[in-house]
Amino acid sequence: MGRSESSKRKKAKNQPIVVPAPENIDYPNFGFDILHRDPHSRARIGKLKTPHGTIETPNYIFCGTKAAMKNLSPDHMRAARTDIILANTYHLLIHPGADIVQKMGGLHNFMQWDGPMMTDSGGFQIFSMGHGSVADEIKGRNRNNEKSLMKITEEGAVFKSYRDGKMLTLTPEGSIDIQRKLGADLIYQLDECTAYHDERDYTAQSMERSHRWGDRCLAEFERGHNGRQALYGIIQGGVYEDLRATSCDWVKDRPFFGTAIGGCLGGSEEEMHEVVSWCMPQTHPDRPVHLLGIGHIKDVFSFVRQGIDTFDCVSPTRIARHGWALVKGGADEKINLRNACFRDDPNPIDPTLDIPASRDFSKAYLHHLLKAGELLGMQLIAQHNVAQINRLMREVRAAIKDGTLDDLEKEWLG
């Protein structure tokens, strides 16, 4: 074969794959009803209906990445008044595999969680693991510019398993098929997450490819649609206002059930708020809007005002493994129970929360458990953090209804 013929084939392989999106998709077992709007902001109260129950919004989706909450059982999550959790397509693809989860009855049966569930598409993890980092690279904080191990083509993403080095490929159709087997209620299109350092030209090319992937996801979703799942589209475009506007229009014009804001949100809090502010007025007004991977307490207040309905973040359980407990009324949102000042503190973390982890155990005991390396300490703090976030969301919903969101923010953040 001549070199020119080989080059033509390679070029043809990378030509855009265009699949027409369905004009309409019904979601018969799902619904999103907006019950109240704040007259002073975009904040709103809604009800998000799924086959496994209805949740009130704004709400927080806790990350059970590998089909498990870190250190917490489903009973712990229910006791902390959790409404909905998330599992990760990328990690479950690598182990144990979607076929095993399906054979075990899907995620709900596998995990013994009977409430609503969400799975992401795997795109973020393919990107972040490939770059040797996680959220920092997306948000512009990472300085590691090592060559990525992943390969992005028009067909999909090629990457190495972190377990055995095996080369894996995830396509839009494959992502939908895996999520169908996992069986979560709310699922996502496959997209590429560009980094903060990516230039505008590449960000635009990536966004357009993600849109084509989204159309392929919609077509595959419709092919196997049985009313048990609902699909979210993802707004991309990085830190470029015109690209974000283009992506908002694309998501709004497709028959997705919900909208998610993803990709690089900037390198600072100010930039992150600005990027979200570009998107929110241009999202479909009747669909639930999810903000991917953001969920500190101050973020909840800021982005609820912009109209975000749901958040997800690993932070509440991750920081617990390092001894950090979320508190109401602290300027830093949290306290570090490893600090010596808690060595002889007889007070619990928060006696107003009606679970033993928050109400009964002294900070001195939790400090001891952490210093002794006892896993119970991390478990108790993790459950406390989940309960604290759930209370935050209940109070946020009440404050939107009462028009007292500003006062509530002062109570929480001091």
* Catalytic residue chosen out of the listed positions 120, 185, 215, 309: 120
Q: Are 196 and 264 in contact (CB under 8 A)?
A: yes
C-alpha 322/C-alpha 36 separation (Å) is: 38
| CA neighbor of 117 nearest in space, from 198, 62, 47 | 62
What count of other Cβ atoms lies within 10 Å of the Cβ of residue 330? 14
What count of other Cβ atoms lies within 10 Å of the Cβ of residue 405? 20
| CA neighbor of 216 nearest in space, from 16, 20, 15 | 20
Structure tokens at 229: 């799942």
Catalytic: 198?
Answer: no
Give me the amino acid identity at 352: T
Residue 159 CA to its chain's centroid (Å): 21
Peptide bond into 285 cis (omega under 30): no
Q: Is 28 exposed, middle or buried (0-12, 13-18, 19+ CB in 10 A)?
A: exposed
Q: Are 123 and 190 in contact (CB under 8 A)?
A: yes
Phi, psi of 293 (to 5 degrees): 75, 15
Catalytic: 407?
Answer: no
Structure tokens at 1: 């074969």
In Å, what is the CA distance from 197 to each residue of 68, 264, 339?
Answer: 33, 10, 37
Helix (H) or strand (E) holding 258: strand 258-261
Q: Are 333 and 297 in contact (CB under 8 A)?
A: yes
Give me the amino acid identity at 414: G
Q: Are 388 and 380 in contact (CB under 8 A)?
A: no
Sheet containing 53-57, strands listed edge to edge, beginning at the edge strand earlier in sequence:
31-37, 44-50, 53-57
Residue 369 falls in which region: left (phi positive, over 0), alpha (psi -120 to 50) or beta: alpha
The secondary structure of residue 259, as a DSSP letter, is E
Q: Which residues are catalytic?
A: 120, 312
